[in-house]
Amino acid sequence: MKFTARQIASILEGEVEGNPDVEVQTVSKIEEGEKGSLTFLSNQKYTPYIYKTNASITIVNDTFVPEKELSTTLIKVPDAYGAFSKLLSYYDSIKKTKSGIESPSYINNEAAYGKNLYLGAFSYIGAHTKIGDNVTIHPNVYIAENVTIGNEVTIFPGARICSDTVIGNHCVIHPNAVIGSDGFGFAPQEDGSYTKIPQIGHVIIEDHVDVGAGTTIDRATIGVTIVREGVKLDNQIQIAHNVEVGAHTVIAAQTGIAGSTKIGKHCMIGGQVGIVGHITIGDYVKIQAQSGVGRNVKSKEVLQGSPAFGYQDFNKSYVHFKNLPKTIHKLDSKDYL
């Protein structure tokens, strides 16, 4: 797909300096720019590259004044970085736009869907499921019975949406995510075996939530597992039964959250964090990567370590951790005595 400098300037409400009819069909870093590519300049340390780049179009701040002759056409905007991001989002939305119901696919007669549904081949929609407007469901997606999906939702290939799940508006479910499978509930018996506890709850995902590839969100044993508005989940995260994740919290890959834990809003949780069940984590908490959290956490705490404790205390302690062999040797030496 090709765009001219004039078209791009119109989208960004910018001003063209150079050839308004020059075309681009790809994007590049400014130092790697080639003919036919679009790039941007926002960081001053990359300014020398604008005089060398072969990129056909460069987005710059409107305060930029070239000191040498340029071979690239400029598009001047108030914020070059923001404009470039906006343009990438615009291009991505065009690229992902699909329509129609491909064959073979299956929609139960008792399911309902809104306008502009795209349903990819080999996908399945169960009975009594309701799907909103402008929903994109890629191939090989399974959506069970009694599911509710809002407007402007994208579900990528291989995702599994189990029964009774509710997904809000403007959500993105990435490949092979599983939402609403049974929680890990087994009752120990006197003979040492385990009996499965039926999981009869469901999952609610509110608006503007992203669920990463391979992430699993378990249905509640009784009641609801809930992911609040604006939450961003990375790949390969495990959210257990009856967990609540507060609004606008972000969680990095391979984190595991055990059952019935409540996480506050605007938290930031690093990769490979382990959180035990039945605890409460407050708002605006930050947990560093690979930490293990086994206690209630007050709002605005910053944690690191396993078991996790205060971030500043951890850094102070780490000085002694790494020097411990030397300290022991010194204590054992005759010179010290």
Measured distance CA(304)–CA(307) in Å, rounded = 8
Predicted local distance difference test score (pLDDT) of residue 231: 98
78 preceded by a cis bond (ω within 30 of 0): no
288-314 pLDDT, tens digit each: 999 999 999 999 999 998 887 788 888
What residues does CATH 2.160.10.10 cover in the chain? 100-312
DSSP string computed for 205-260:
E-TT-EE-TT-EEEPPSSSEEEE-TT-EE-SS-EE-TT-EE-TT-EE-TT-EE-TT
Helices (H), the chain: 5-12, 80-96, 311-332
Mean local confidence (pLDDT), 239-255: 98
29-77 pLDDT, tens digit each: 999 999 999 999 999 899 999 999 999 999 999 999 999 999 999 999 9
What confidence tier does 336 reach under pLDDT thresholds 50, 70, 90?
A: low
Instruction: Check whether 208 has a pLDDT greater than 80.
Output: yes
What confidence tier does 233 reach under pLDDT thresholds 50, 70, 90?
A: very high
pTM of the model: 0.79
Catalytic residues: 241
Measured distance CA(292)–CA(287) in Å, rounded = 9
Q: Please, are residues 181 and 205 in contact by the beta-carbon 8 Å criterion? A: no
Q: For the chain, how many residues are written?
A: 337
Measured distance CA(151)–CA(161) in Å, rounded = 16
What confidence tier does 88 reach under pLDDT thresholds 50, 70, 90?
A: confident
Instruction: Check whether 332 has a pLDDT greater than 90.
Output: no
Mean local confidence (pLDDT), 112-130: 97
Residue with tokens 């795209």: 118
* 98 or 40: which leads in pLDDT: 40
Predicted local distance difference test score (pLDDT) of residue 198: 93
User: What are the tokens at 59?
Assistant: 């987005």
What residues does CATH 3.40.1390.10 cover in the chain? 3-96
Q: What is the largest CA-CA distance in the chain?
A: 86
Amino acid, single-letter form, for residue 267: C
Instruction: Check whether 337 has a pLDDT greater than 70.
Output: no
307 preceded by a cis bond (ω within 30 of 0): yes
What confidence tier does 335 reach under pLDDT thresholds 50, 70, 90?
A: low
Q: How far is CA 204 from CA 125, 147, 244, in A?
A: 18, 10, 10
Mean local confidence (pLDDT), 158-176: 98
Measured distance CA(16)–CA(208) in Å, rounded = 35
Measured distance CA(202)–CA(215) in Å, rounded = 16
Q: Count CB atoms within 10 A of the CB of residue 181.
A: 17
Measured distance CA(74)–CA(86) in Å, rounded = 17
CATH fold group of domain 100-312: UDP N-Acetylglucosamine Acyltransferase; domain 1 (2.160.10)
What confidence tier does 99 reach under pLDDT thresholds 50, 70, 90?
A: confident
Predicted local distance difference test score (pLDDT) of residue 314: 82
Predicted local distance difference test score (pLDDT) of residue 31: 94
What confidence tier does 334 reach under pLDDT thresholds 50, 70, 90?
A: low
> What phi and psi, each to the nearest 5 degrees, are found at residue 320?
-80, -35
Contacts of 8 (CB under 8 A, 6+ apart): 14, 24, 38, 57, 59, 75, 87
Sort residue 173 into left (φ over 0), alpha (ψ -120 to 50) or beta. beta
Residue with tokens 């790697």: 32
| Domain spanning 3-96: CATH 3.40.1390.10 | yes
